[in-house]
Structure formats: C-alpha cells, structure tokens
Amino acid sequence: MNTLIAANVEDYRLLAKRRLPKFLFEYIDGGSFSETTLRNNCADLQTIGLRQRVLRDISNINTETELFGQHLKLPIILGPVGIAGLNARRGEVLAAQAAQEKGVPFCLSTVSACSIEEVRSQTQEPLWFQLYMIKDRGFLNAMLDRAVEAGTKTLMFTVDMPVPSSRYRDIRSGLSGGSMLRRQSARIMQSLMSPRWAWDVGICGRPHSLGNVAHVLGKGAGIDEFWSWMSKNFDASVTWKTLEQIREKWKGDLIIKGILDPEDALEAKKLGADGLIVSNHGGRQLDGALSSIRALPPIADAVQGDIKILLDSGIRTGLDIVRAIALGADAVVIGRAWVYGLAAQKKQGVSNVLDILGNELRVAMALAGCPSLKDITPEILVK
C-alpha cells in the first residue's frame, strides 16, 4: 500500500478508513437513510463563492476570537462525537490535549469512551461538555454535577435526537441491528483485518469501559449493552419547558445544539441560552433536512446577534469556516474532521487537522482581503 501524505482533511479520512475496522469507520463517516443531508452539508458549502480582493494590507492575519469568556486562537471547537475514544487508545484524552495545545476548546460527549474525570485529569484546563435529555433524570442530574466537579463552564445541550434515526451503514457493518451473534462476529472479523487498530485499542487500550455511562451499565458491559441503554433512554417527551429546568440548574454558559429553524432559534433565545449551534447532527438524523449552511442565514437574521451562533455539519476546509462566518456564525464546530485525524495519527493527527484548517483559513482570509475575523462579512461573498 502506498504511503499517503495527508495534505487536507479528506486525506485524513482516507487514512482513517485504511486503519479502522469497518464498523467503526462507517459509524463515524455515515449518515441517516439515503444520506442526502450528509452529502448536502459539504456540497452546499462549495456553492458559496468568495470575492478575491487585492492590494489590501493582509500582512498580519489574525484568527483569534473570544467566545463565552474564553480566548480562542482559531474560531473552531472540537465537537462531541460518540465513542470517539475507540478510534485511538484513550482517544478523547489525546484529542483534548491536542485542542488545548492549539488554543481551541474540546467538548466531550455524554457517550464518550473516556469519562469526563479521566479526560479532565489529563488536561490543564476544563472541558466543554455535551449532554442529551436522558429519561433517567437521576443520571442526567448526576452528570451535570460531575461536569461541575470537573470545572466545566460551558454545557452543550443536544436537542435534535429525541429518537435515534435509521443509519443503514451501521446495520450493514454489524454495529447495530440483527442478532447479537451476527454483530459480534462481524466486529471481531473486521478487527482482525485491522491489526494496528486491534493492537493499539483492542489490546493495549484495556481496560475498556464506556466512559460516563459505565457505572449504570454494570461491569463487563460492551457496545451492545451501551446501544441498548441509549436507545431506551432517549426522551421523546422533552419540550422547551423541560429545558427550562436545565437552564435553572446549570449556572454556566448553555449552548443549544441542533437548531435548524428560525422559530426554534428564537425559543433558544427566549430560554436564556447563551448560544446555539446550527446543526443537523452531521446528517445523522432527519435525512432531507436543510444543510446547516443553508439554515444559517435566516437563523442569524432572527436572533440579531443577541446570542452566539456556532455551526457544525460539513466543515472540511478553512474556506468553509470563512463561508460560515460570512453568513452569520461566530465560530464552527468540527466532528468528523478531528476524528479522522485521531484515527489516522492519534494526537498528532488531531493537531495536524487543526493546523491544516488554520492555514487554509489564513490563506482564504488573506485572499479575500480580511485581516481579522470581524472583517469576514457577507460583503466578501459572491452575490
């Protein structure tokens, strides 16, 4: 096999595909149903043209920003990805360390492979934390308390998953669906075909647990028990009224993740949220929903800058970051991009992905005549 020298995020995707067992790569890479929204997230970004401007002083490009009282060297947050820690040994710890070194936040998923306590013990600064509305309110409240104990000041609350969607790649790969025997057999065979991953994660990554939910699953629980618990604990009855209880309990910054409609954005503002994330869950929920970039402008118009707006789903280049900011985002959240880097080259891969995005961002800003992020306005877009 020829050695691929990764130059962009897509190269890291190819490297991740080579290294990971199929069930894990398909889980990261796939979307719901026919994956129309998954494809549109990236494709719609590419249709947005940038005006190239010349003879402007771009000798000092500044990509730094302030967000929720935190100084960021890049307008990027490493977003929450379920069981991301299985892509490399103690993966979430490595990603959090890489993010910290690059001066950007890392947000840990409720359903991480490494617990919030483990990740926090290996980093210098507090994490952001992502939470679902779980039926088991005892677990939910305890998780909020654990986040406070870990020093977390920013909570990302995901609202677009009242029920899990149909993800056909996961069924075909053996991650979900069918009998337990079929799933386990498929995963074992695929792991044997990925010996580097099997050694690094499967053998050297022991003891295996399921992070934040390990104590409720019980000793010896695996991926199958994990999915079973999650499917039973998604709360389809949650409403904005329910979220008021979270807002009252959580004293730090609250970000509502999963907004695609301006009316919902106004509800988040009314709730007292400090920010929202324009997101379709990376194309993993309602297939046929708007791409995040197309949903962004009317949401930005609705909230009028009263709360911070982040965007995820489809960000693969620094040019995409410029497009998102020009259309109203304050920063972007990346998921697949950093996990591809983690799977391919562990901590160094995450660092490299951030370097690539940062360099692409600086070049795009320079050629568009924008020395700072505040100069990235709708005027730089081709009408």
Q: What is the mean pLDDT of residues 204-213?
A: 77
CATH fold for the domain made of 9-168+231-380: TIM Barrel (3.20.20)
Give the pairing of strands 65-67 and 70-72: antiparallel
Q: What is the pLDDT of residues 70-111, one digit of tens each?
A: 999 999 999 999 999 999 999 999 999 999 999 999 999 998
Calpha distance 90→12 (Å, rounded): 19
Place of tokens 């009252």: 248
Active site residue 71: no
Q: What percent of the chain shows pLDDT beyond 70?
A: 98
Side-chain-facing half-sphere of 69: CA atoms under 13 Å? 9
Q: How far is CA 89 from the centre of its chain?
A: 19
Give the per-residue pLDDT at 2: 58
At residue 221, does pLDDT exceed 80? Answer: no
Please say if the pLDDT value at position 205 is more than 90.
no
Nearest CA to 92 out of 107, 105, 102 is that of 107
The three-state (H, E, C) secondary structure of the chain, written as one string: CCCCCCCCHHHHHHHHHHHCCHHHHHHHHCCCCCCHHHHHHHHHHHCCCECCCCCCCCCCCECCEEECCEEECCCEEECCCCCHHHCCCCHHHHHHHHHHHHCCCEEECCCCCCCHHHHHHCCCCCCEEEEECECCHHHHHHHHHHHHHCCCCEEEEECCCCCCCCCHHHHHHCCCCCCHHHHHHHHHHHHHCCHHHHHHHHHCCCCCCCHHHHHHHCCCCCHHHHHHHHHHHECCCCCHHHHHHHHHHCCCEEEEEEECCHHHHHHHHHHCCCEEEECCHHHCCCCCCCCHHHHHHHHHHHHCCCCEEEECCCCCCHHHHHHHHHCCCCEEEECHHHHHHHHHHHHHHHHHHHHHHHHHHHHHHHHCCCCEHHHCCHHHECC
User: Active site residue: 71, 208, 215, 281, which one?
Assistant: 281
Cα separation, 84 vs 179, in Å, equals 24
* Distance in angstroms between the alpha carbons of the first and the last residue of the chain: 45
Tell me what pLDDT residue 299 has: 98
How do the domains of the chain map onto residue ranges?
A: 9-168+231-380
pLDDT mean over 266-282: 97
Arithmetic mean of pLDDT, 32-38: 97
Which of 210 and 35 is assigned the larger pLDDT?
A: 35
SS3 per residue for 111-170:
CCCCCHHHHHHCCCCCCEEEEECECCHHHHHHHHHHHHHCCCCEEEEECCCCCCCCCHHH
What is the pLDDT, as a whole number, of residue 220? 67
Cα–Cα dist 125/129, whole Å: 13
pLDDT at 215: 79
pTM for this predicted structure: 0.95
Question: Which residue has tokens 């719609």?
Answer: 44
Q: What was the pLDDT predicted at 207? A: 67
**pLDDT score for 313:** 96
Spatial CA neighbour of 229 closest among 134, 144, 141, 161: 134
